[in-house]
Chains A and B, each alone.
Chain A
């Protein structure tokens, strides 16, 4: 009897021992779709494209650092930030290991990678119409071109990656020659310009257009002094006939007139959609905010952090010429806070009573939003990356370089007319090429103050190779005291060099 009991119990025990089956260990991620089931439908592709746009809204792209990197190095803007990562950006003194370089690098490569994922899968998916497919493909190409444009102008010597990650060796690419990168950028923008629609309606307004691709393509040619090609592209933008200057210059930098007739490409920001988490870096979170921290970064204290300030030189430059009514150039008041202004419901002269000469960055701030300041970090003002005014003045530049000074003068005056500056078309037409270059430098400085174009302009014009011009820049902005040859590009981020032994540091570091 006892024996039977023991055997039964032992048998039961053994049964328990081997009762567990192997698929008990198969667990699926309950939080997200796995990659093997994605990239199958038109909706997947559209989401992928949207995620590529979203990559423009990271700390290293246009949430903050891209504007800092672009603006601070110009002579119209400097950084009084107590945070040396920002203040040393404009004075060319950054250590190699700061997050300025690292975030720019990762975030713009994020744009490229997101676009590459779309491009790798777009041809394997059935679309409702070929127009849709062209559009998504064009957008991805445009965004890749845009990503590489910023990467090559920030870092010059960069790896060129055109497909998604496949195996671990892919992690360690070598740098391509800058010419190769530029060739790819031309190609991407050119291909995009052939695929993208001229315009959108409804919930698609703000997507990359044919005009945007052409304008950036022209800008890239211009950067590399290929004036003939640049000229043709700007001309085709103008010939699209859908763009014009906004009557009021200041309307280009507020939330009210986004995606307006002057706008060719904007980074879209919005306070009222999405969550509130700032998502500076890392993959987006479910409650991520779709806003930019540009306003809080640039706005003067106590309304923002005052990490940026206009230089006195640019203010003086505005005073060189008055409007036909004998007034100050209205672009000054639209771009810069100074005495006599009202900001965030307060009088400038009361807030800054102790510092009457104070200058603050006004462009892209929410100074008349009704909010007391920028300190919730979240601004919904779209960043206008390409305005029609820019196309007009770049076209004027190519026309000057191609010795069509009368056409150049015409387009320069077109931009001046909006702000009621005197008609000097005939005078400009009679200028030498050199004189007209200087005039264009002056016109562009005023038209695009605090829009991040100035340093690229200076570099394109070769000023940094000209000791006299460098000396002049130092008088405009003492941050140029820190400039030394090679520092027109950032150092390759130290973290990147340390993880990828195939990379070489840029000269000058």
Chain B
């Protein structure tokens, strides 16, 4: 709106220029030049240029070029552009004046998309973070979420480094036990955003508090991320290209034993165990007296597995249009190859985005279409093993290749080596595991303006993802536990789709000093999920990987799920005198996931803001305090992100049995329904302060939020006495949680000299507490964690360590003092860990809080938090002449990690490889250590959950350093190129951390086990969130050009 007005002002100025031109006889000078963005060096079309003190003016064309006649050579030109700092430049007789315009740090007049509408940034009442898209676009990633890491206060993102990985995002902590993923809206369509090219994105806004998200009430409890994509502008065809190519490496290594160290430790562990298990023998491969003793192999499996991968992207943009119709087309190719040997993981994407906008009189319409095809390959795994674990704990006494096996890869023998790791090199080369994914996201709108201020808008959107998950396991022998004699194949296909119809009626009116915007709307959403699973076995080589080539076990199964949501909503925004702002929102939602009597939920919210700086009493301070806004909001949001049909009980019709060789059909109820489930509700309050100093050179925002979620839909594990497994537990409205935190962000910019720079930083804290849990408040246990009332979700839980037993008499004394004659375990011996006795039970079975002379489950306690005390991000961007530099960093402080890979290496209890930490294990000769003895089968349970298994998870990561050079425009104009920037960048360059794992930034498996680093199971399902490879270090070169 604003821009259009300026445009017409510019045209008027141009006309005036023509009129005046002829009459001038004085020495007239024509000034030419190009106006670019100071930071990105991209040309700025539509910049308003006026000769100071006159009405003479022009605007820049689509390539940022302008030409203006100046009558007085000593006059000054005023360059102004929405969202940019206005510059006044004396002509001084020059005929060429190139200008680099700097953005206002926060473009307070910028329009922010707030859901079914826009609002001036300065007028926001809720907590909405606007992401600096050009800045985050410097991150090379397949997923937009990854680029947000460290950028927004209050948004925590955990992300592994798998090609195609989908990061885990939490906006303001854990609100729910089911789904903490925010709602993503792309051009009005509800859609997953993985696979959407970052290059086609125009704006990203993160709606954090209830008031901001309220208009999406039903599914906004985890926050909303609204994304709009680039659209065309009137003018000639604008062509942009950007591309990069990079090299990726996993740089971290675990310090594991070499052959001699491994053989020494595993033999010692065996001898220590022979005391109780005389039948245990030293494995022949490790026994110097055996003919099978291995002394000529010393494989470094990490060296064999990790290799350089590549990442590259090409993006071509075409946009343009006329006054009444504009368009934008974006073509994207993205390819990331594995950083490990073998077939995956890799991710290749082809994407196209097309949109256009048209207007005719009072009618506007337009559409936006995104289509991507993704070819993603996974790391392969067998059973519950993980490629990374098998890489680090593979035994050095086994070569990688062995021509005598059926597949050419070596295979550990149970009898000779004992180890049961799989040959990862063979595994990842032989097994195919991939997905093809086709995603369409489209939306179309039509808007009619009845009269000034009253508009009706209809928005239709549709998202559909079709996929094929393919898995083929040939006959192989990759270790004694990994022998496959029957080639098997899965061919699973399905699609998910979401269609939405939305209509809104918006009314704008200014009555004196009061500006009013009222909106009412309705939306209906339908989601379908249909899946078919095909399986066949018995393929023979040469393999033809189609189901029909299977000779046995051929089966086809399918399922389908549907859900619907019907919503009515309204919003009133009041602005009085640009000082007092009020937003009130109401939404009513009905969900098919609840029974008719619990179907509807109401979600109101209200927010107010006071722009103190616009008060007359502040006018004297205007030069110092350029902005002071106080905001407060309160609202209720809903959540229904659970499975479909849970309120209805169902019969599993596959409980078949067999009698006399014939199928006997069986059926029964296996999973409990919960007819009374209803909406989960989150009530949240937000207080925010926005400061701007020195003409907004310094900006500072502080926010405090408090969110209480009630009736959390949670699957509380129920006891197994009805034969159901923990993951089959019914979903109930069982829990309440609170989250609270402080968020700060600050920036300083200095665009005055030739060295222009800006510095930004953000920091947030988060504290969550469980207020109640379902079914009698019984704690929920995760991996080494416990979620209990009064504590955090997934707090680490286990035993405390009280040193190492140095001699048998120490153990005997404790045993003698124990009421059951045993302090710890039956076979506890010197060198084992002594756990701390902290609790016992009285005669009635109640916990006493006092030691009772024996170690059992009651002696467990809380061991630390999986949540950082604070999360922070930092970014610097500066330019000097044609050079620009960006540095971003992010990190967390104060959390603990359960590093399962390290824990496997330090167990000292099996035949797989050991960590070199164990070289300092307790022995009768080496008693001054905190590393317990090694012993097969760990009869003392030294590896039970304890403080020993936890590591400090704090880290600071230099996530991106990018150095760019923009070629001088004089040079480029010869080649008809309007701008060209070359850059080199290093991503994930350095991580400062004490964490010994691959990467302290990882995807965790569940909310209850957030601090557990598994680095595993990346391909459980096509959109699995867990594990995978660590973030690689990436070195890239790139180019950005526009024509």
Residues of A within 8 A of B (CB): 6, 9-10, 13, 16-18, 20, 22, 24-36, 38, 44, 47-55, 57, 78, 80, 82-84, 87-88, 91-93, 95-96, 102, 105-107, 109-114, 117, 159, 161, 164-165, 168, 170-173, 202-207, 259, 268-270, 272-277, 281-288, 290, 301-302, 305-306, 354-355, 371-373, 375-376, 478-479, 481-484, 493-501, 503-505, 507-509
Contact = CB atoms under 8 A, between A and B. Distances in A.
A35 B657 contact: no
B1023 interface: no
B856 interface: yes
Contacts of A6: 450-451
Given A25-B599, A500-B778, A509 B856 contact: yes
A431 B656 CA distance: 50
Contacts of A496: 719-721
A47 B655 CA distance: 8
A326 B413 CA distance: 38
B279 A484 contact: no
A108 to B, nearest CB: 8
Contact of A375 (B484, B644, B781): B484
Given A52-B668, A205-B660, A372 B485 contact: yes
Contact of B660 (A55, A204, A287, A479): A204
A25 B591 contact: yes
Contacts of B670: 283-284
A310 B533 CA distance: 41
Contact of B717 (A22, A32, A355, A495): A495
Contact of B651 (A33, A88, A203, A204): A33
Contacts of B937: 84, 87-88, 91, 93
Contacts, number: 331
Given A25-B566, A34-B649, A302-B413, A51 B657 contact: yes
B659 A207 contact: yes
A373 B276 CA distance: 32
24 contacts: A18-B522, A27-B592, A32-B650, A47-B665, A49-B666, A53-B657, A82-B911, A88-B939, A91-B939, A109-B722, A165-B722, A168-B775, A173-B719, A203-B664, A275-B553, A277-B535, A283-B655, A286-B557, A301-B414, A305-B414, A375-B484, A481-B826, A495-B720, A498-B779
Nearest to A284: B654
Interface string B432-476: 000000000000000010110000101000000000000000000
Contact of A93 (B559, B645, B825): B825
A33 B563 CA distance: 18
A451 B657 CA distance: 22
A284 B656 contact: yes
Contact of B485 (A22, A82, A373, A493): A373
Given A205-B659, A206-B660, A270-B658, A9 B448 contact: yes
**Closest 8 pairs (CB-CB, A-B):** A110-B723, A51-B655, A50-B666, A35-B649, A106-B720, A51-B666, A276-B553, A283-B670
Contacts of B260: none
B116 to A, nearest CB: 14
A306 to B, nearest CB: 6
Contacts of A498: 778-779, 781
A18 B568 CA distance: 9
Nearest to B650: A32
B816 to A, nearest CB: 15
A306 B820 CA distance: 35
Contacts of B723: 55, 106-107, 109-114
Interface in B842-884: 845, 856-857
Given A161-B722, A498-B778, A500-B778, A84 B938 contact: yes
A106 B725 contact: yes
A482 B826 contact: yes
B618 interface: no
Contacts of A78: 279
A95 B826 CA distance: 12
B590 interface: yes
Contacts of B278: 478
A203 B483 CA distance: 36
Given A114-B668, A306-B414, 5 more contacts: A6-B451, A17-B503, A36-B649, A270-B661, A287-B533
Contacts of A117: 668-669
B663 interface: yes
B450 A302 contact: no
Contacts of B649: 34-36
B657 A203 contact: no
B655 A109 contact: no
A53 B535 contact: no
B277 interface: yes
Nearest to B719: A500
B564 interface: yes
Contact of B656 (A13, A18, A114, A288): A288
B755 interface: no
A18 B776 CA distance: 42
A273 to B, nearest CB: 5
Nearest to A487: B826
A287 to B, nearest CB: 4
Interface string B86-108: 00000000000000000000000
Interface string B923-951: 00000000000000111010010000000
A28 B644 CA distance: 9
A290 B654 CA distance: 11
B555 interface: yes
Given A17-B522, A47-B665, A111-B723, A482 B827 contact: yes
A305 B726 contact: no
Nearest to A474: B276
Contact of B667 (A47, A109, A273, A302): A47
B486 A171 contact: no
B523 to A, nearest CB: 10
A32 B653 contact: yes
B481 interface: yes
Given A34-B649, A159-B721, A493-B720, A273 B658 contact: yes
Nearest to B562: A27
Interface in B558-611: 559-566, 568, 590-592, 596, 599
A49 B645 CA distance: 26
B537 interface: yes
Given A25-B564, A25-B590, A95-B941, A288 B775 contact: no
A499 B827 contact: no
A88 B910 CA distance: 13
